[in-house]
A and B are shown apart, each in its own frame.
Chain A
Amino acid sequence: MRSIIIYFKDIFSGIWSLLKGMRVTASYFFSPGAIVTEKYPENRKKLVMFERSKGELIMPHNDKNEHYCTACGICQLNCPNRTIEVVSKTITTADGKSKKILDRHIYWLGRCTFCGLCVKTCPSHALAFSQKFEHAVFNKDLLTKVLNHPGSQLKKGVE
């Protein structure tokens, strides 16, 4: 007797749960507002990318043309496929000490896999990702970029 009750209970609870599932999918079917697809080339003008999207590596500069990079080279060490080369130079400061500063932060976009290890490991938060994602160019050389702006220098107080 008990097994018969279980048998019918199984059937009805099964049907009920199946109907519940179908109600969810049918509600999605009848709600065109919930569609998340972006029609990319058409909506290019007003396309807003998410802040977390990894477009390309940049080095943020403030309005006084100062960056945070101390040329420590940790990003270069952490990069799995040698996308970054930090070229440093040694200068002598006004009080006679010699100091290593950033000359060129070279970034080969063509090799980058956008893993984000450089951004994550940078001790002075000098690197970031921009949301620009249209990288197609006709010349491979254009993919080699120098991230620090010409004439920029290290922000005072960051060592």
Chain B
Amino acid sequence: MAVQIMLMTSEPWWRVFYDFSSFTKSIDEGLRSSMSSFWAVTIEMVITAVVFLLFYAVIGLFLVYAERKVCAFIQNRLGPNRVGPFGIFQTVADLIKLLFKEVIPIKNADSFLFNLAPYIVIIVNFMLLAAIPFSRGLHAIDLNIGIFYIIAVTSMSVIGVLLAGWSSNSKYSLIGAMRSGAQIVSYELSVGLALITIVILAGSMQLSEIIEAQRTGWFIFKGHIPALIAFVIYLIAGTAETNRGPFDMAEAESELTAGYHTEYSGMKFAFFYLAEFINMFILASIAATVFLGGWMPFHIGSWDGFNRIMDFIPPFLWYIGKTFFLIWIIMLFKWTFPRLRIDQLLTLEWKYLLPINLVNILIMSFIVLMRWHF
């Protein structure tokens, strides 16, 4: 089948070879030929869910390991090095430990909300993962309002955090949750506006079209300085939105023990912990998609030879490479900068990021109107 497509199209063979849409299409056709469309869709959804669950667990465990290693190297330590070569199975061992640990029921806690909160956070993660394009044709749902969907769903994770803090019946949890709420609500604005800057440039909210528009150059280069400013603002605001350091007042260890998940134990604690890391992954992959071209290889205008060499590298590797580079930068943030106070945090957002962002959008609109971008 792939051979037929290769013969039919004039595209270079690797572009077809790296395209997953024919693969997913053949699965879809195979299922539909043997059963009714209802069952075909159900089975496809189950397959997608299983793939995402595996991906979630693997990426989560890997990021916990990566964070510990990056942190260790920055502090001139070795990090985990006992379980497996270079300690790569350390997080698997941690996970097994957490699976066996008891989930302690809290006296006077609102047990329904207490048990519900981690699942809300996890569900939000999965809803976001569904909208992320991993490679050409490897994209669970390609909504025509992809960016809008992402902005909307990201802000739902604050519900899980607030519920966890409220239902734990603990002062630390409640203070952590309120701080997290104030933080997410205010930084949501900057994240949205930074993404809108690029939406103006791309002229579309659909993620696949945004990536396709970056075929001749990534938006961070195409949009000149406003795109760069939007990128920096997105990274700062996104770091704050995922409650990571230096904006981790929601779980400031020295003040609140652990913030909103103080009272959680065992696997429910692990859910929050994993969700934080997956949030960081999603943040980095959206930044990679919107600003750095997602799975689109690095192309320079009309240098055909250079562009062809870049095309040989599979798009999935491009995507993963960009995402992990951004994750590395976010980890560097956490292990370099001291934690902000709550008033400094709000000053940064309302007095600096937001006005700059609004002016930035104006400049970007002007550039797009004058067609100064390439």
Contact = CB atoms under 8 A, between A and B. Distances in A.
A interface secondary structure, majority:
helix
Interface in B73-123: 73-78, 81
A28 B337 contact: no
Interface in A32-76: 32, 34-37, 39
A26 B77 CA distance: 14
B77 A39 contact: no
Given A22-B332, A25-B336, A26-B332, A36 B77 contact: yes
B70 interface: yes
A39 B82 CA distance: 10
A35 B337 contact: no
Contacts of A25: 74, 332, 335-336
Interface in B289-337: 332-333, 335-337
A18 B70 CA distance: 18
Contacts of A24: 336
Interface in B346-362: 352, 356
Chain B residues touching A, majority SS: helix
A136 interface: no
A37 B336 CA distance: 20
Chain B CB count within 10 A is highest, among A11, A25, A32, for A25
B78 A37 contact: yes
Nearest to A32: B73
A64 to B, nearest CB: 46
A37 B332 contact: no
B76 A28 contact: yes
Contact of A29 (B78, B81, B332, B352): B332
Most chain B C-beta atoms within 10 Å of own C-beta, residue among A11, A21, A34: A21
Contacts of A22: 332-333, 336
Given A35-B78, A39-B78, A28 B73 contact: yes
A29 to B, nearest CB: 5
A37 B77 CA distance: 5
Contacts of A39: 78, 81
A11 B347 CA distance: 12
Interface in B56-85: 70, 73-78, 81
Contact of B352 (A11, A18, A34): A11
A34 B76 contact: yes
B58 to A, nearest CB: 24
Given A11-B352, A22-B333, 19 more contacts: A11-B356, A18-B336, A21-B336, A22-B332, A22-B336, A24-B336, A26-B332, A28-B74, A28-B75, A28-B76, A29-B73, A29-B332, A35-B73, A35-B76, A35-B78, A37-B76, A37-B77, A37-B78, A39-B81
Interface of B: 70, 73-78, 81, 332-333, 335-337, 352, 356
